[in-house]
């Protein structure tokens, strides 16, 4: 018998969580949260190009049982939204550009 992996799901009727705010530099991924005993999807946002100082951290409110499940959610839902957000931001003014790099192992 093959077991299905459990993944976190938003309940029916619940509005989707607010996403991260646009920033000059944004990096996303997953990390293990020992308090929640699972993996969470995060996005760090800086107000400078050099990523100096503490970033503002946004967390998807659901906890995933495995790193793979969290990363799959990030890749299919959060990353495309970040790409779109940054591309839209770049088109709003002269001299603004958009560069996207996927840094994965």
With respect to residue 70, please indicate whether it lies within any of the assigned structural domains: yes
Total structural domains within the chain: 1
Residues 63, 10: Cα–Cα separation, whole Å: 11
How high is the pLDDT of residue 19?
75
Q: What is the pLDDT along the chain (105 residues), one digit of tens a residue?
A: 444 444 444 444 444 557 777 777 888 999 999 999 999 999 999 888 888 999 999 999 999 999 999 999 999 999 988 888 877 766 666 665 555 556 555
State how far the alpha carbon of 60 is from the alpha carbons of 1, 13, 43, 97, in Å.
32, 17, 9, 27
How high is the pLDDT of residue 2?
45
Tokens of 51: 């990523």
How high is the pLDDT of residue 69?
97
The CATH number given to whatever domain includes residue 61 is 3.30.160
How high is the pLDDT of residue 98?
52
With respect to residue 35, please indicate whether it lies within any of the assigned structural domains: yes
How high is the pLDDT of residue 94?
63
Core vs surface per residue 14-23: b (16+ CB within 10 A) or e: eeeeeebeeb
Structural domain containing residue 33: 25-90
Chain mean position to CA 85: 12
With respect to residue 58, please indicate whether it lies within any of the assigned structural domains: yes
DSSP state, 97? -
Q: Which helix (H) or strand (E) holds 31?
A: strand 25-33
């Amino acid at each position: 018998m093959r077991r299905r992996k459990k993944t976190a799901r938003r309940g029916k009727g619940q509005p989707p969580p607010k996403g991260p705010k646009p920033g000059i530099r944004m990096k996303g991924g997953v990390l293990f949260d020992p308090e929640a005993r699972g993996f969470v999807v995060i996005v760090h946002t800086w107000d400078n190009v050099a990523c100096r100082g503490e970033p503002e951290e946004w967390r998807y409110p659901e906890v995933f049982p495995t790193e793979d499940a969290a990363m799959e959610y990030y890749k299919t839902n959060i990353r495309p939204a970040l790409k779109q957000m940054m591309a839209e931001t770049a088109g709003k003014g002269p001299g603004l550009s958009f560069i996207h790099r996927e840094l994965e192992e």
